[in-house]
C-alpha cells in the first residue's frame, strides 16, 4: 500500500487516517510525526518505539481473544486525537522522538519469538499514525504464526481499513462518546468517522471489541449510553464485547471525579437491556468473568488481568452448546 497521494508538485495527502492531511513540503500532519519530505510521506517514528512491554492480552482489553495469552506491546509518540483525559499523554501528546531507541520490524518479531508471545499489540498511542511500521512488523509476525492486535481510537482511513484486513487479527476500538459536538470540539475529530470504522471492523474477519471510558458529566448519562448501546446492538452485533472502563483523574481532567461503581453498573444494565451479550467493567473491582448468555455457566474465570478458560469447547459452552463468539485458540 502507498500511504499518500499527490495533489501537485508541492503537496501530498496523507491517507493513514480520516484527517487526510494535506502536506506541503517539509510540513507535518495533525499527528505531528508524518511529514512531506521530498514529496513522499515519511513517518519519523518508524523504528523508534517509546514503549515496549509484554502484557496480558486482557490488558488491551481483549476478553474473547486468546484468554490468558501474552502480547508483546509497543507504541511510539504522537496522536491524531486531543483527548484531555489521556492516560498515556506523555507519549501521545508529544512528538519528541528518541532516535537512540531503534528496533526494526525484524527486531520486534524476534523479541516476540524469543519471549513466546502469542501476539503483538500496537497500542499505548494511536497506531494508525504509525501504520507503516506496524504493518511491516505485522506481516513478518503473521508469517511466524504470531497474531496482530490494534488498540485504536478508530479513525483509520478507508484505505487503511481495507489494507489491514490482510494481516490484522483483532482490534479494540474506543467509542469515546456519542456526541458529535464532543468529538469535534474536544477530541478534534469526527464521530461519524469512528462509527464508519466500527462498522467496517464488524463486517471484516478482524475480531472486534469496544471500550468506552465512562467519564462523569461527559458521557455517562443514561441517554448517551442508550444511544451507544443501540448503535452497537443494531449496527455491529450483540456478540461484540463492550468494555466500560472507569475514569480516574489524569492529564487535563484532574478536577473530574472518578467513575462510581453505581454509574458503571447502570451502564452495564443499559447495555444488557439492548441485548448486548458480553459487557465488562474495567478499572474497578467487580466480577469480570465471562458467562454463557444462555445457561449462565462461567466460561472464562477472570480476576484482574489473569484469566482461565473453563468451559468453552470448540467455541461452544460445554454445558448447553451455545456458540460463543471469539477467538479461543
For residue range 111-135, what is the model confidence (pLDDT) as tens digits? 999 999 999 999 999 999 999 999 9
pLDDT over threshold 90, residue 9: no
pLDDT value of position 165: 98
| Sheet containing 279-282, strands listed edge to edge, beginning at the edge strand earlier in sequence | 51-56, 70-75, 119-122, 147-152, 170-174, 207-214, 242-246, 279-282
> Per-residue confidence at 162, pLDDT binned at 50, 70, 90?
very high
**Distance of alpha carbon 140 from alpha carbon 113, whole angstroms:** 11
pLDDT value of position 226: 98
pLDDT over threshold 90, residue 308: no
Task: Estimate to the nearest angstrom the gap between the alpha carbon of 183 and the chain centroid.
Answer: 17
**Distance of alpha carbon 48 from alpha carbon 99, whole angstroms:** 6
Question: Are 194 and 17 within 8 A, CB to CB?
Answer: no
Domains of the chain with bracketed CATH = 4-42 (no CATH), 44-286 (3.20.20.70), 288-329 (no CATH)
> Per-residue confidence at 70, pLDDT binned at 50, 70, 90?
very high
Strands (E), 44-146: 51-56, 70-75, 119-122
The overall average pLDDT reported for the chain is 97
Half-sphere exposure of 227 (CA within 13 A, CB side): 13
124 DSSP assignment:
S
Task: Estimate to the nearest angstrom the gap between the alpha carbon of 197 and the chain centroid.
Answer: 11
Q: Is 32 left (phi over 0), alpha (psi -120 to 50) or beta?
A: left
Q: 10 Å Cβ neighbour count for 272?
A: 16
Question: Are 302 and 58 within 8 A, CB to CB?
Answer: yes
pLDDT value of position 309: 85
Q: Comparing C-alpha atoms, which of 77, 71, 75 is closest to residue 52?
A: 75
pLDDT over threshold 90, residue 310: no
> Per-residue confidence at 290, pLDDT binned at 50, 70, 90?
very high
CA distances from 117 to 41, 69, 120, 188 (A): 32, 7, 7, 35
For the chain, what's the residue count? 329
The answer, yes or no, to whether the previous bond of 61 is cis (omega within 30 of 0) is: yes
Average pLDDT of the residues in 266-286:
97
Pairing of strands 242-246, 40-43: unpaired
pLDDT digits (tens, 9 = 90+) for 180-238: 999 999 999 999 999 999 999 999 999 999 999 999 999 999 999 999 999 999 999 99
Residue owning grid cell 486468546: 66
pLDDT value of position 305: 85
Residue owning grid cell 468451559: 311
Average pLDDT of the residues in 292-317:
92
Cell readout for 266 is 447502570
> Per-residue confidence at 303, pLDDT binned at 50, 70, 90?
confident
Amino acid at each position: 500500500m502507498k500511504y499518500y497521494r499527490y495533489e501537485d508538485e508541492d503537496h501530498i495527502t496523507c491517507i493513514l487516517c480520516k484527517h487526510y492531511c494535506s502536506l506541503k513540503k517539509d510540513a507535518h500532519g495533525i499527528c505531528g510525526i508524518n511529514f512531506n519530505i521530498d514529496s513522499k510521506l515519511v513517518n519519523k517514528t518508524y523504528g523508534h518505539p517509546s514503549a515496549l512491554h509484554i502484557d496480558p492480552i486482557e490488558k488491551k482489553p481483549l476478553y474473547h481473544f486468546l484468554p490468558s495469552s501474552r502480547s508483546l506491546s509497543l507504541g511510539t509518540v504522537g496522536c491524531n486525537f486531543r483527548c484531555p483525559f489521556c492516560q498515556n499523554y506523555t507519549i501521545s501528546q508529544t512528538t519528541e522522538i528518541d532516535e537512540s531507541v531503534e528496533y526494526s520490524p525484524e527486531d520486534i518479531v524476534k523479541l516476540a519469538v524469543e519471549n513466546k508471545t502469542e501476539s503483538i499489540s500496537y497500542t499505548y498511542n494511536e497506531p494508525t499514525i504509525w501504520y507503516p511500521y506496524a504493518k511491516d512488523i505485522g506481516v513478518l509476525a503473521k508469517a511466524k504464526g504470531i497474531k496482530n492486535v490494534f488498540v485504536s481510537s478508530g479513525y483509520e482511513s478507508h484505505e487503511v481499513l481495507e489494507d489491514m484486513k490482510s494481516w490484522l487479527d483483532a482490534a479494540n476500538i474506543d467509542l469515546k462518546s456519542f456526541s458529535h459536538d464532543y468529538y469535534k470540539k474536544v477530541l478534534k475529530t469526527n464521530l461519524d468517522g469512528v462509527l464508519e470504522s466500527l462498522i467496517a471492523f464488524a463486517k471484516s474477519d478482524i475480531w472486534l471489541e469496544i471500550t468506552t471510558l465512562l467519564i462523569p458529566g461527559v458521557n455517562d448519562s443514561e441517554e448517551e449510553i442508550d444511544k451507544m448501546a443501540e448503535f452497537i446492538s443494531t449496527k455491529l452485533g450483540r456478540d461484540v464485547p463492550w468494555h466500560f472502563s472507569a475514569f480516574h483523574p489524569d492529564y487535563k481532567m484532574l478536577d473530574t471525579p472518578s467513575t462510581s461503581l453505581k454509574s458503571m453498573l447502570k451502564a452495564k444494565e443499559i447495555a444488557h437491556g439492548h441485548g448486548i451479550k458480553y459487557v465488562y467493567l474495567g478499572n474497578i473491582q467487580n466480577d469480570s468473568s465471562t458467562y454463557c448468555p444462555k445457561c449462565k455457566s462461567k466460561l472464562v474465570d477472570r480476576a484482574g488481568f489473569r484469566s482461565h478458560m473453563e468451559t468453552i469447547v470448540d467455541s461452544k459452552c460445554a454445558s448447553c452448546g451455545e456458540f460463543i463468539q471469539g477467538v479461543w485458540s
